[in-house]
Amino acid sequence: MAGKIISKFFDIDGGNTIDVYERHGGYQSIRRVLKKMAPGQVTDEVLKSNLRGLGGAGFPAGRKWSFIPKDSPKPKFLVVNADESEPGTFKDRYIMDRYTHGLFEGIMIASYAIGANKAFIYIRGEYVRQAENLVEQIKCAYDRGYLGKRIFGTNFNLDLVVHRGAGAYICGEETALLESLEGKKGWPRMKPPFPAIEGAFKCPTIVNNVETIAYVPTILQEGGEWFSELGSERNGGLKLYGVSGHVKKPGVYELPMGTSLREIIYEHAGGLQDGRKLKAVVPGGSSAPVLTADEIDVKMDYDSLAKIGSMLGSAGVIVMDDTTDIVRALYVVTRFYHHESCGQCTPCREGTGWAERILKRILDGNGRSVDIDNLLNIAGNIMGNTICPLGDAAALPLKSYLTKFRADFEAAVSDRNGVGKVADEPVSLLN
Amino acid sequence: MVKVTIDGIEIEIPKGTTVIQAAEQAGIEIPRYCYHPGLSIVGVCRICLVEIERMPKLQVACYTPATEGMVVHTNTEQVLEARQAVMEFLLVNHPLDCPVCDQAGECWLQNFYMQHALHDSRMFENKVKKSKALQIGPNVMLDSERCILCSRCVRFCDEISKSNELGIFNRGDRAELQPYPGTELDNDYSGNTIDICPVGALTDRDFRFRTRVWYLSETESICPGCSTGCNINVHHNDQRTYKAGGSRVSRLKPRYNPDVNEWWMCDAGRYGFTHVDADSRILAPTRSIGEEQEMSWGEAASEIMTKLREVISVHGKESVGVILSPQMTNEDLFVARRFFRDGLGLKHIDFEVAPLTTGAKDDFLIKADKNPNTAGARLLGVGARQGSGMTVAEMLEAARKRKLRALYICHHDLANGFAVDVVEEALTAQDLVVFQGPNTNSTSALAHYVLPAAAFVEKTGSFTNYAERVQMIHTAVTPLGESKADWQIFRSLAKEAAISVPYFEAEDVFQALTAEVEAFSGLPYAGLAGQGIALRDGQALPESETVVA
């Protein structure tokens, strides 16, 4: 095990400051890159590292960078997606708070690799303190000449801008983020064109998650192969797992890609409260299909989780013990996606609200037996039929909770304790 | 060119064609709400999902370009299911208030539900409440609950009228169409948003609750509001006029013509038909010497011709002025020419009256010349500029000095072009003033004889627009009262004067016209219907040449 890369700064006092960062070897990687490497070599090294897009989609970062058209006369942009909004996910917040300059160094290297002279950090509006810290530390970096013109005496120029979101989950979707960055309503765009061809302000743009970028300095320092070997096959390096819910020690744990979910819950997060039994785990943020207690011997990497029908997503592990009302849990998740659906395309706009209202009715004790299959059908009708993945994000929990915990839902609809009991088929639409 | 196969039909289409357009060319209609060929593509309604071989998910036909060798299926089980699912989603929060909705009968929710869904409702929850009966502009009412958020109207205001009044506010199923705060949907083309709204969200304040659309008949015509000659459909309600305050024409809708107005028309034209059923319509030939008295066409023709011959025999042919109108069709003007110029041998014939206030214009559809047939009148040579006679202004001056003794005035309200006292002095100095037109005005009030002409929806004929495109109007409703087409009125007068006008239908006039007038020669009558024919291969006249008349 390689110890820690990012999280070793979490425990250092003043780890967010430029001095402490430099004292621990910071800003060496970028110096070396600017002096000794061509942009293409940087991208190759990242390709070798098997660094995946750690925001959730898991697309290989180096490959994404290589999509930037080489001959485009337009300016290129790097956009760091710090709109961390997926319920159960809080790793990027730690990075921005405590590995601030590590993130900046990553931004500088990535910008150099793709030929960008301007980078944006798009941060969710609710991260007020984090945004303040970023702005403050960016100023320090400018003061020291690490940002701006002729960085480290080379011809490389870079400006870094913090852009605060206004509180919409959808703006974490990269094209909605770009719309929002351009000052428009956060509505996802149709693809193609992909952002690497036509992104922010119609220019080639790379959008990467905070964590992805934060690993870049180390990869360039230690080498792509070194990083790759830290993880599992095709899933390079370490990963920040955010564990929340019914565990003794919730928090962010930096572990190799492919660490088993059981190990994360029981060894690192301290296991469940005494006397409780594990009921369900969401492995990668609220949109990832739920796992039952029997499914936790899975390697936590993109490919292994995909194989068992779930996903690593943002690696926000939500642990639910046997006191959890699974119907209410699904209701809460669905209410979230209903609230956050942008409303642009039909299935997600109408389907999420519909599903939420059915679940609410079941919770109120007015469930009908047809509700379960109707919900499954609604989820199926949203799945894959929308512009962006928010539709899928809403449909996947519906499908997985209803399938894997069907008994809970059947109990809920048969145990009608509600005041206004309704028949299986409505007798009157005027009710 | 690329070759694609859609539902087994192989077609060749230009590169860049989208699947939905390619399907149309193959004769396959894929349902759509947000897609409109005149607007940018957003792919939000999702009703046009189709299956494309070698693609993992269904794709929206509106956005996906058809590429070489692509195989598309529009009616597989998966597609039909997705289509039905989208239909169901669209109706989840829809109020289903068809019985009180003005769109009923021409609603795409109704149509596509019948064609593609026919599901029983599974929706037992409360619906989302939104604002209703909201007046968002002078012409448009909004019902947000009916809105399916296709954003066509928003894109129209952004891309076509370029006035940017509308936006979609809030998120998810709370999203609502609204004008931006402090603005309203008030632009020269706002009525088009109603046309392109596929549902009952945007309705026409002028039309709503007046007629159920299934009582409407549709007749192709041309907007007479300006020299652009936007292609329109006249929607008329022939059977139940009592439901609509006696008005027979219910509304005008733009008709697609890629060379003229595409899918659009301006509000001035759209709502400019009220004169057709107005109280000011002239219903019968009337003598206004002393006591006002209605007469038969026979009496009127013989009296007018008698007086006209008197004037001519005493004061000569140069003592008569004829003021034709660019509101009249090519056929009207041609018969007028045959009667007044060739038959009676009159010299002073003109049609152009420059308005005192210049008409509004823009760089899209609205032209300053508010007449549909100025170009036609010029080509027919019935203006002073084309001949050697007096202009209208000179005629009025001559009339005041009693050098002219008789004026025959068609359609014009001369007060629009001249000071009231100038007109009054001129007309009161005449031995004979005949006014012919559909509606009374300040000029008809000074005439000795007033003859009822059919309005543009009551006759068949052709207009020549500013770019010299000849386009047809068709009879939508029967002429009101005793009124008849201008050329038919000239024919009755000519008969009295034993001048041969051997035409029975507008077509006969047109045939004679093409035989006789160089500019129109060889125009096939049958080819005029629909999109019309450009006389100079669609080349527009420079604006400076289309002097305002």
How, if at all, do strands B406-410 and B320-323 pair? parallel
CATH code where residue A257 lies? 3.10.20.600
Domain end residue (candidates: A317, A349, A383):
A317
Closest CA to B316 of B431, B427, B404: B404
Record: contact A345-B46, CB cut-off 8 A: yes
- Does residue A176 lie within any of the structural domains? yes
Distance CA B27, CA B29 (A): 6
C-alpha dist (Å) from residue B132 to A382, A429, B135, B172: 28, 22, 9, 18
- Does residue A431 lie within any of the structural domains? no
Task: Answer yes or no: do A279 and A163 share one domain.
Answer: no
Task: Answer yes or no: do A153 and A291 share one domain.
Answer: no
Distance CA A99, CA A96 (A): 6
Domain with CATH 3.30.70.20 in chain B: 98-108+121-204
Question: Which structural domain, as residue segments, surrounds residue A271?
Answer: 238-317
At residue A289, the pLDDT reads: 98
| B88 and A CB contact within 8 Å | yes
- Does residue A424 lie within any of the structural domains? no
Cis link prior to B452 (omega < 30° from 0)?
no
The b/e string for B117-150 (b: 16+ C-beta within 10 A; e otherwise) is: beeeebbbbebbebeeeeebbebbbbbbbbbbbb
Tokens 């565990």: give the residue. A247
CB atoms within 10 A of CB B393: 16
Task: List the pLDDT tens digit at each of the 431 positions of chain A.
Answer: 458 999 999 999 999 999 999 999 999 999 999 999 999 999 999 999 999 999 999 999 999 999 999 999 999 999 999 999 999 999 999 999 999 999 999 999 999 999 999 999 999 999 999 999 999 999 999 999 999 999 999 999 999 999 999 999 999 999 999 999 999 999 999 999 999 999 999 999 999 999 999 999 999 999 999 999 999 888 989 999 999 999 999 999 999 999 999 999 999 999 999 999 999 999 999 999 999 999 999 999 999 999 999 999 999 999 999 999 999 999 999 999 999 999 999 999 999 999 999 999 999 999 999 999 999 999 999 999 999 999 999 999 999 999 999 999 999 998 665 544 444 444 444 44
CATH of domain B2-91: 3.10.20.740
Closest CA to B112 of B143, B132, B88, B136: B88
At residue A430, the pLDDT reads: 47
Q: Report the gap between the CA of B125 and the closest CA in chain A (Å).
A: 6
Q: Decide if B416 contacts B327 (C-beta within 8 A).
A: no
CATH code where residue A24 lies? 3.40.50.11540
Contacting residues of B for A342, CB less than 8 Å apart: 171-172, 175
| B86 and A CB contact within 8 Å | yes
| B284 and A CB contact within 8 Å | no
Domain end residue (candidates: A171, A197, A230):
A230
CA A65 and chain centroid, separation: 19
Closest CA to B197 of B263, B245, B242: B263
Q: Work out the average pLDDT over B380-400.
A: 93
Distance CA B463, CA A242 (A): 74
Task: Answer yes or no: do A199 and A246 share one domain.
Answer: no
* From the candidate CATH numbers 2.60.40, 3.40.30, 2.40.128, 2.20.25, the one assigned to the domain spanning B224-276: 2.20.25
Helices (H), B179-337: 191-196, 267-270, 297-315, 330-336
Cis link prior to A192 (omega < 30° from 0)?
yes
Distance CA B411, CA B415 (A): 12
| B40 and A CB contact within 8 Å | no
At residue B385, the pLDDT reads: 87
Q: Which member of A349, A370, A386 has the closest CB to residue B172?
A: A349
Instruction: Classify domain B289-545 at the CATH topology level.
Output: Rossmann fold (3.40.50)
- Does residue A10 lie within any of the structural domains? yes
Tokens 């006696």: give the residue. B246
Task: Give ipTM to 2 decimals.
Answer: 0.93
Helix axes A406-414, A370-382, angle to 10 degrees: 130
Q: Decide if A339 contacts A420 (C-beta within 8 A).
A: no
Task: Answer yes or no: do A330 and A259 share one domain.
Answer: no
- Does residue A151 lie within any of the structural domains? yes
Record: contact B89-A346, CB cut-off 8 A: yes
Closest CA to A356 of A380, A370, A339: A339
pLDDT tier at B388 (50, 70, 90 boundaries)?
A: confident
State chain B's mean pLDDT as an integer.
Answer: 94
Tens of pLDDT, residues A335-373? 999 999 999 999 999 999 999 999 999 999 999 999 999
Closest CA to B307 of B221, B408, B199, B237: B408
Contacting residues of B for A341, CB less than 8 Å apart: 171-173
Domain with CATH 3.40.50.740 in chain B: 289-545
CB atoms within 10 A of CB B208: 15
Residue of B nearest to A361 (CA): B125
CB atoms within 10 A of CB A298: 19
Q: Report the gap between the CA of A318 and the closest CA in chain B (Å).
A: 26
Record: contact A343-B86, CB cut-off 8 A: no
CB atoms within 10 A of CB A384: 16
| B171 and A CB contact within 8 Å | yes
Helix axes A390-404, A370-382, angle to 10 degrees: 150
Q: Report the gap between the CA of A393 and the closest CA in chain B (Å).
A: 14
Look up residue A43 and give its two tokens. 């991208």
Tens of pLDDT, residues B289-327? 888 999 999 999 999 999 999 999 999 999 999 999 999
At residue A414, the pLDDT reads: 86
Task: Answer yes or no: do A137 and A6 share one domain.
Answer: yes
Q: Which member of B44, B90, B123 has the closest CB to residue A344?
A: B44
Overall domain count for chain A: 3
CATH of domain B98-108+121-204: 3.30.70.20
Q: Which member of B44, B125, B126 has the closest CB to residue A345?
A: B44
Q: How many CB pairs under 8 A join A and B?
A: 99
- What DSSP assignment string belongs to A8-39? GGTTSTTTTSHHHHHHTTTTHHHHHHHHH--H
Distance CA B278, CA A24 (A): 88
Task: Answer yes or no: do A105 and A244 share one domain.
Answer: no
Tens of pLDDT, residues A128-146? 999 999 999 999 999 999 9
CATH code where residue A390 lies? 1.20.1440.230
